[in-house]
Structure 1
């Protein structure tokens, strides 16, 4: 299976190490906005061709599978071009710039009969899969509310980001809402089902920034703080608060409160704790056997990509639909939630979500 990758940074940290453990996958080319980045990653992992033009890469190699890890504003055009050239696609999150683009990507993939996946890799993490199973089995009873907090300091210093950093520019699809919020939304939809309505804000708390090297002032336009409350169709409430401008890193904490018990999951130690009504918390952590594979970068994100890519490539070879993971259907539903947060920011009101496509 010929694999082409667009985006050198995440390719080097996650895709390329993971693909060494995916049977039958051969990376034939890698493209990046900077040719030196593409060549450096390609040389390190023995990829035979490197480009600074993703269209040329697609034309020259006709890959069977394309992995896309670029700024968000490039997701739709690269996805559509790859699909039209006969490739199946894995696209990074957030899906697109808006729901219109996400729907176009979905329609194209379905119309051409291609497999499609959004890289919400934590659907393949054993601890989060355990939570999904426990909720589905009724071990927690009726889910009443969920709290998710993701607090960091990486954007707190006005000189922390270089001028032109796409993560800080709304016109390129940057911001905490897309970067982290999309993962939280996917996890909550996976666990609890569709979102009925929400209220929230995506804010730029530190717009005035300076380049960390030159000292040149510039303006950030993407959100560095985002928070929202979702009412799920089940009636459960889910609250998410994300900040990149705190003075200290607190990390990611997830709390699930049901009528029969409570789940706690902290990314700091990745321990999964469960307490029944009136009982003490017990450690029910599930180890990920993939973490022992050689050459992977540390962290649940990099490890979980292996299982995601194994499932996607197996589905391609076997000519079947995905059995696990987030598809472009999930990507569209996710994007509708992110769009609703932005609408709520402008209107300062609750926003109802449309029915999800299936």
Structure 2
């Protein structure tokens, strides 16, 4: 299986180490906006070809799979071009700049019969998969409400990021809502089913910034704090709060409240039956011990995601696990609605999901 990658930074941190543990996968080319970045990643992992133009890479190689880890504004154009060239596609989150682009990606992939996955790798994390199983098995009873908090300090220092950092620019699709909120929306939909309505805000708390190397002033336009409440079609309520401007890293906390029990997920997965104490039911990830992987659930969970996609390609079957472009579109519609809610200061009703 010939693999091409667009986006060298995430490739070096996550894709390339994970692909060493995916049977049949051969990375033949990598592209980046900077040729030195592409060449450095290629040399470190023995990739034969490096480019500073993804279009040239797609023209020169017959690829079975293209992995896309670029700023969000490039997701749709690269995806559409890769699909036209005959490749299956894994695209990073958020899916696209808006639901219109996400729809075009889905429509083309389906029309051409290509496999499509959004890299919501947390679906392959054993603890989060166990939550999904427990909800479906009725271990928690009816889910009444869910709280998710993700608090960090990566945007807290006005002089801590480089000028032009795309993660801080709305015109490139940056911001906490897309970077982390997309994962949370995907998990909630996976666990609880479709979302019916949403209210929330995507806010830029620290717009005035200075380049971390030169001190030159610049303006951040993407959200560094976002929060929203989802009303699920099931009737459950889910609240998500994400901040990158706290003084300290608190990390991620998930609380799931059902009629028969409660789940807490922090560093450990804890479960309490109604009226009882909490028991540690954490599930270790067997891929965590694989050599060469960078630490963290994102990098470890990616191995299982890529194995599922690679096996589906090799076997000529549909995906049995993971988030597809159908999910990517549904997630994007929620993100778009949060932005609408920010402006309108109102609940936004969501359309029925495509399947």
Q: Structure 1 segments of 4 or more deviating over 3 A?
A: none
Q: Which residue of 2 aligns with 1:8?
A: 8
Say yes or no: does 1:45 pair with 2:45. Answer: yes
Q: Which residue of 1 aligns with 2:19?
A: 19
Q: Which residue of 2 aligns with 1:230?
A: 230
Q: How does 1:57-96 map to 2 (within 5 A)?
A: 57-96=57-96
Q: How far off its partner does 1:158 sit? A: 0.3
Structure 2 Cα separation of the partners of residues 98 and 62 of structure 1: 29
Say yes or no: does 1:333 pair with 2:335. Answer: no
Q: How far off its partner does 1:62 sit? A: 1.8
- Deviations for 1:88-127, whole angstroms, at most 9, x for unmatched residues? 0000000000000000000000000000000000101110
Q: Which residue of 1 aligns with 2:124?
A: 124
Q: How far off its partner does 1:211 sit? A: 0.3
Secondary structure of 1:254's aligned partner: strand
Q: How far off its partner does 1:276 sit? A: 0.5
Q: How far off its partner does 1:160 sit? A: 1.1
Q: Which residue of 2 aligns with 1:342?
A: 339
Secondary structure of 2:76's aligned partner: helix
Say yes or no: does 1:138 pair with 2:135. Answer: no
Structure 2 Cα separation of the partners of residues 40 and 315 of structure 1: 30
RMSD of aligned Cα (Å): 0.4
Structure 1 Cα separation of the partners of residues 24 and 252 of structure 2: 35
Say yes or no: does 1:352 pair with 2:349. Answer: yes
- Deviations for 1:71-90, whole angstroms, at most 9, x for unmatched residues? 00000000000000000000
Q: Which residue of 1 aligns with 2:217?
A: 217
Q: How far off its partner does 1:321 sit? A: 0.4
Q: Which residue of 1 aligns with 2:290?
A: 293
Structure 1 Cα separation of the partners of residues 13 and 212 of structure 2: 23
- Deviations for 1:304-350, whole angstroms, at most 9, x for unmatched residues? 11000000010011111000000000000000000000000000000
2:311 to 307, 310, 314: 314
Say yes or no: does 1:274 pair with 2:271. Answer: yes
Structure 2 Cα separation of the partners of residues 137 and 160 of structure 1: 46
Secondary structure of 2:271's aligned partner: strand
Structure 1 Cα separation of the partners of residues 206 and 212 of structure 2: 15
Secondary structure of 2:30's aligned partner: strand
Q: Which residue of 1 aligns with 2:256?
A: 256
Q: Which residue of 2 aligns with 1:54?
A: 54
Structure 1 Cα separation of the partners of residues 33 and 234 of structure 2: 44
Structure 2 Cα separation of the partners of residues 234 and 150 of structure 1: 24
Structure 1 Cα separation of the partners of residues 162 and 318 of structure 2: 41
Q: Which residue of 2 aligns with 1:105?
A: 105
Structure 1 Cα separation of the partners of residues 73 and 43 of structure 2: 27
- Deviations for 1:260-310, whole angstroms, at most 9, x for unmatched residues? 0000001xx2x1000001100000000111101111101110001100000
Secondary structure of 1:326's aligned partner: coil
Say yes or no: does 1:204 pair with 2:204. Answer: yes
Q: How far off its partner does 1:130 sit? A: 0.2
Q: Which residue of 1 aligns with 2:300?
A: 303
Structure 2 segments unaligned to the other structure (5+ residues):
none
Q: How far off its partner does 1:24 sit? A: 0.6
Secondary structure of 1:275's aligned partner: strand
Structure 2 Cα separation of the partners of residues 154 and 315 of structure 1: 37
Secondary structure of 1:63's aligned partner: coil
Structure 1 Cα separation of the partners of residues 41 and 140 of structure 2: 45
Structure 2 Cα separation of the partners of residues 215 and 298 of structure 1: 32
Secondary structure of 1:302's aligned partner: helix
Structure 2 Cα separation of the partners of residues 154 and 84 of structure 1: 37
